[in-house]
Structures are given as C-alpha cells and as structure tokens.
C-alpha cells in the first residue's frame, strides 16, 4: 500500500458525527470516508492527480498499442 500523509484535522463534532454515520452506511471508517469525500471533490473539480501506472501495466498497454488491428 502506498504511504499516506498524516495530519491533524480539527472538525466540528456534529460534522464528524454525520461523517461517522455516513461511513457506517458505506462500510468504511470515518477516516476512509473523509478520504473518499476529498477524492470525489478533487475528481469533480477535475483536480485529481492521476496515479502512475505500474511498469507491468505499462508493458501491457505498450503491447496493446503496437498490436495490429484484426478487424
């Protein structure tokens, strides 16, 4: 698993309670739910940083792009 940055977040207790309830409904931890919310907001704003493709997948993609069309 990729290393994650840790930081302190000060949040209103009522907001945290709402996040905990939402997280439970989604079978996530409160931390996981907050991370999901942030990632969704970044995607919606088109500011999401794309993760690098692992080398093994790059090789497959290269092979696919070089294979001749068989239509």
Q: What is the pTM of this model?
A: 0.63
25-32: average pLDDT: 96
Is the confidence at residue 70, as pLDDT, over 90?
Answer: no
Phi/psi for 45 (5° steps) reads: -90, 0
Per-residue pLDDT, 20: 97
The pLDDT-based confidence of 2 (bands split at 50, 70, 90) is confident
Phi-psi region of 12 (alpha: psi -120 to 50; beta: other; left: phi over 0): beta
Per-residue pLDDT, 48: 75
Give the pLDDT confidence of 35-57 residue by residue, as tens digits. Answer: 999 999 999 998 877 765 555 55
């Amino acid at each position: 698993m990729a290393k994650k940055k840790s930081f302190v977040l000060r949040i209103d207790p009522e907001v945290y309670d709402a996040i905990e309830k939402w997280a439970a409904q989604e079978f996530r931890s409160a931390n996981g739910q907050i991370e999901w919310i942030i990632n969704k907001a970044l995607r919606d704003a088109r500011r999401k940083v794309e993760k690098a493709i692992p080398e093994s997948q790059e090789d497959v993609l290269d092979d696919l792009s070089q294979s001749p069309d068989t239509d």
